[in-house]
Amino acid sequence: MKKIALLAVIGTLVSFTAPKKTQDTKTPKPKLVVGIVVDQMRYDYLTRYVSKFQEKGFKLLMNKGFNAKEHHFSYMPTYTGPGHASVFTGTTPKVHGIIANDWYDKELKRYVYCAEDTLVKSVGGDFENEIRSPKKLKVTTLADQIKLSTNGKGKTFGISMKDRGAILPAGKMADAAYWYKGGAEGLMISSTYYMNDLPSWVNEFNAQRLPHSYLSKTWKTLLPIEEYTESHPDNSPYEESLIPNREPVFPYDLIEAQKTHELSTLKEVPFGNDYLLDFALELLDKESLGQDESLDFLSISFSCPDYIGHAYGPNSVEVEDTYLRLDQNIATLLDYLNVSVGEGEYVLFLTADHGVAQVPQELIDKGVEVGYYSDSTLKANVNAALQAQYGSLDLIENYSNYQFFLNYEEIRKNKLDANEVANTILIESLKNSGVESGLIRNELATNSYTDRINKSVQKGWNVQRSGDVALVKSPGWLSNKYAGHGGTGHGSPWAYDTHVPFLLYGYGVKKGNIQKTTWVEDIVPTISAIIGVQPPMGCTGNPVKGAIK
């Protein structure tokens, strides 16, 4: 039914064209770089679920590779778009320009999407909302540098269930980025930025209708449910349900779920990871990655944990089950690579694009002083303060992603001082529940901060694209869109959103671990040092020396 079925007994594989390599094989350079991003994976999932992981998945990477135990994002907002861009460029939104998933464009006077490109079309179907490319990325990625270093001979690809999770890692020069189109279609698609038509092997893959197969089953726990002792009870008031008007408990009838979500349901269950792995193995095979002397690259972004984590929260049985199943996916991928490319002839890293907060209501019920903030109340209070000080002037052009954008035309017309207006906004904002601190444009553009939180705001702030007042929400607080029902979110500079895995394995990697803090910017320069390729042009990180042989 699916490519992964070929791996049921890895030792008996006969479909690979490449001969099996051994650890003793001597190679002057690696043949393949694989970058894995798990969307919304906190570091503590590794330690919390470790007793249930098998030996050849996450444990193999942790025990026989390199484990950076205090790896953090150094900026805010910690979202999917900025996270993927930062991992693969070796820098932060201050430089690469992907400041959020969506942001207000001051020139266009509208919101734009991080992978939006109105000059391209979708490939694989006529989908007007799938006009995507890496156009808005300001710098090169690791994949781009591999293209340059091999004079275009190396093949580079990015795949994900989310378009931004495929496109941003693959960069400007990729052979292709592929992502999942749910709805009524259930297809892997691409963009005319890369090609005019899907390769025949992708069409053949789509023709198998694997989403229908995966969604014809019931989501039951992998282990007996009483063994999920690392999670709170299954029937929890802090979760959203996949199926409307039904308690969020196992088992989940995926036929029933499709009545609401259609084939997009695949993104919201662990079987979406299986499907993406199927596609990854097919791509590795059909594109012959790692089969010649030119260095190739593949990024795989497992998006499903993000959808599941948002709905159920980090203490749920659903999240634990997702990671136990993902552990099997990782093991299958490693087995495949060891046979098809050769153990020791590829380098693989695994990280995440952000973490996630505890469900605030759960913390409230346990006596922790957190809550849900209201952006609409914040904006109303700020506008009232501005009106009281300056009269009925329209001084705010936009508020989004924790930032106020000033209306400079109105400020100039009324001969006001922009810094003074920004300070008024900041002072009033700090009076609101859930607002911890903030900085204004003049400070962000000129100051050099050592305080970690202020520094994280500055590293996430782009002088051309960002706003004029940047706020930091208080620890543990989330938007009131989550209030009154289950679920959680992310985006802050606090440790629960910034502390993620960084695991390295394979060619040139020194076995061990490190407790010293490393940063998202350090991943790419570390890989670049291992493979002997120039880091991306905007790279601001440093190699993690303890990780390199």
Residue 1 confidence (pLDDT) above 70: no
pLDDT tens-digit map of 97-123 = 999 999 999 999 999 999 999 999 999
Judged by DSSP in three states, 128 sits in coil
User: How many beta carbons lie within 10 A of that of residue 1, not counting itself?
Assistant: 10
Q: Would you state the structure tokens that stand for residue 460, as one six-digit string?
A: 């996430």
Nearest to 373 by CA among 474, 491, 469: 474
CATH 3.40.47.10 assigned to domain 29-362+493-504+527-547? The reply is no
Find residue 494's DSSP bridge partners: none
Selected catalytic residue, list 80, 424, 518, 540? 80
In whole angstroms, what is the distance from residue 207 CA to residue 53 CA?
34
**Would you kindly state where each structural domain of the chain is located, as residue ranges?**
29-362+493-504+527-547, 372-475
**CA angle 5–10–13, rounded 5-degree value:** 80
Residue 369 confidence (pLDDT) above 70: yes
Q: Would you state the structure tokens that stand for residue 123, as one six-digit string?
A: 């490939």
Average pLDDT over the chain reads 94
What mean pLDDT do residues 188-198 have? 98
Catalytic site residue 80?
A: yes
pLDDT tens-digit map of 2-26 = 344 444 434 333 333 444 444 444 5
Residue 162 confidence (pLDDT) above 50: yes
What mean pLDDT do residues 427-431 have? 98
pLDDT tens-digit map of 212-241 = 999 999 999 999 999 999 999 999 999 999
Q: DSSP code of 17?
A: S
Q: What's the whole-model pTM score?
A: 0.94
Helix count and strand count (H, E) for the chain: 20, 22
pLDDT tens-digit map of 283-340 = 999 999 999 999 999 999 999 999 999 999 999 999 999 999 999 999 999 999 999 9
User: Side chain identity at 401, as an amino acid letter?
Assistant: N
Q: What is the pLDDT of residue 16?
A: 36
Residue 366 confidence (pLDDT) above 90: yes
**CA angle 114–118–120, rounded 5-degree value:** 105
Q: DSSP code of 50?
A: G
Q: What is the pLDDT of residue 8?
A: 41
> Which of the four pLDDT bands, split at 50, 70 and 90, describes residue 28?
low
Contact criterion met (CB below 8 Å) for 221 and 250: yes
pLDDT tens-digit map of 385-395 = 999 999 988 99
As a whole-number percent, the residues of the chain with pLDDT over 90 amount to 93
pLDDT tens-digit map of 405-424 = 999 999 999 999 999 999 99
Q: Which fold has domain 372-475?
A: Gyrase A; domain 2 (3.30.1360)
Dihedral over Cα of 166, 168, 171, 172: its sign:
positive
